[in-house]
Amino acid sequence: MAILPIITAPDPLLKVKSKAVDRVDDGLRTLMDDMLETMYLAPGIGLSAIQVAVPKRVVVVDVAREDEPANPLYLVNPELVCVSDNLATYEEGCLSLPDHYADVERPAEIEVAFLDYHGKRQTLQAEGLLATCIQHEMDHLEGLLFVDHISALKRNMILRKLKKAKRLEATA
């Protein structure tokens, strides 16, 4: 397995809509394994392929706590089948927007259909943090970031800070 570089905002690739995957094969499984290892090391609880510069509809998620065994989910071509009318607010962060967080309101419960690690069609009902994390990662597949769900003022402030950090990093 390999650690992949995570791209950060304002990289324009993060605004690209990812393409559907034709089939789950060994190459895609290697990508998912590498994404999972990258996510754990970051550390994070979710990662989409676009965040490692691969515009494919692939997401890995693991919301297990540190004192729990790992419980990774691999979602290929995920689609929301159903969302609840009830909303939940979580403070979200993102590996592509390091050190920035904001409260985001999303459906509290979802049902998602996807292909699993072996290419088998699955559905999953999720609530709480898992539902939020899956929706967050699925947003990436559409070229959306969690800051697209907050006020323009807060979003612009975060993006300005990230641009400044990139400029400083480039001159260092």
Residues that are catalytic: 137
Give the type of residue at 61: V
Rounded distance, CA 35 to CA 74, Å? 10
For 6, 61, 63, the CA distances from 37, given in Å and listed in that order, are 12, 11, 14
- C-alpha 141/C-alpha 49 separation (Å) is 8
* Secondary structure letter of residue 169 according to DSSP: H
